Amino acid sequence: MTSPKGSKTMGRSSSARPSVNESILIMDFGSQYSRLIARRIREANVYCELVSPGTEWEPLAKLNPKGIILSGGPASVYAPEAPVAPEWVYSKQIPILGICYGMQVLTFQMGGFVEPSDMREYGQAKLMHDASHPILKGISDETTVWMSHGDRVTKLPEGFKPLAHTSNSSIAIMGNSHNMIGLQFHPEVAHTTEGRKLLNNFLFDICKCTGDWTPGNFVTQAIEDLRNTIGTGKVICALSGGVDSAVVATLIHRAVGIQLTSIFVDNGLLRKDEASRVQGMFSRHFNMKIIHVKAQDEFLNNLKGITDPEDKRKIIGKTFIEIF
């Protein structure tokens, strides 16, 4: 097998991950669909986690990964500082599924070539098989897929072969004998009519997942892991009023009760009366200790005159952290 190019490992490890029998790791390269991939995997009753390209292997090993998905992303692999997968993705000999940019990363790091396409492909396309492979099990001879890419694979890495094509992509699916597969399209979106079947082929026929995970299992395990990690210590939790922080606060409170203090930073950007409902729900219904910080004026002053959505997001995040 060819050694991967451009691999590096950065980031810090975490010991707070749940104990699961098996998992799929989704390496997030910044795709707008990364969380949708996670949703599709979990709908198939397989636990998964989104991880950054800088994540080290050691904290992930306890998840017993059965497969790795390389997500799409906005970058071009030949651009300076383009994100690539760390070396362990290839050295652990775990099945890999590269999606769109993920396929290009796989190609680039395994010694193939990726170049700008003469024509950006965006929208639905007809996929046709070129070979038999477990990823194509039960897939129609001609099926609709969703394309969104400006680059294309022009030379396959050693040991890979084309498995399917479209009218504009001669290599729409590629694979090798080491369970490394690349899809130039997005199987996770509804516009790819047999996308779930393709993902399930990867999960169950290639990765050999059992599919015995449920959200209920996760909640039970997460609470147990939190108790074991926190012990008799005290916890502060940042609460924004959104779904993510609300779920985190609820799980921690169920695990350690009064050891938790949630700091609700009211940024003035919630829906009408939502801030009071958030505080009421957590303090009265869950009997959670909450510090309510009314910081509407500070957020709105910092956002005054700002029109770019990305600039707004960064200002809101920075202001939230400073106040917290």
Q: Which residues are catalytic?
A: 100, 186, 188
Distance of alpha carbon 296 from the chain centroid: 32
What pLDDT was estimated at residue 281?
87
d(CA 307, CA 28): 27
Q: Show the tokens assigned to 249.
A: 């606060």
What pLDDT was estimated at residue 124?
87
Q: Are 211 and 297 in contact (CB under 8 A)?
A: no
236 beta partners? 261
Please compute Rg for the chain using Cα positions. 22
d(CA 290, CA 298): 20
pTM tops 0.85: no
164 beta partners? 129, 173
What pLDDT was estimated at residue 19?
65
> How is the chain split among helix, strand and coil, in percent rounded to 5?
35, 25, 40
What pLDDT was estimated at residue 14?
43
Task: Please identify which residue in the block is written with the tokens 């939502």.
Answer: 274
Task: Please identify which residue in the block is written with the tokens 């292997």.
Answer: 57
69 beta partners? 26, 97
**Which among 177, 180, 183, 214 has a CA at the least distance from the CA of 198?**
183
Kind and range of the H or E run holding 95: none
Single-letter amino acid code for the residue at 51: V
For the chain, what percent of residues have pLDDT higher than 70?
93
For the residues of 118-159, what is the DSSP string, one character each?
A: EEEEEEEEEEEESS--GGGTT--SEEEEEEEEEEEEEEPPTT
For 8-24, what is the mean pLDDT? 59
**9, pLDDT greater than 60:** no
What pLDDT was estimated at residue 180?
98
- Quote the mean pLDDT of the chain: 90
Q: Are 76 and 151 in contact (CB under 8 A)?
A: yes
What pLDDT was estimated at residue 119?
64
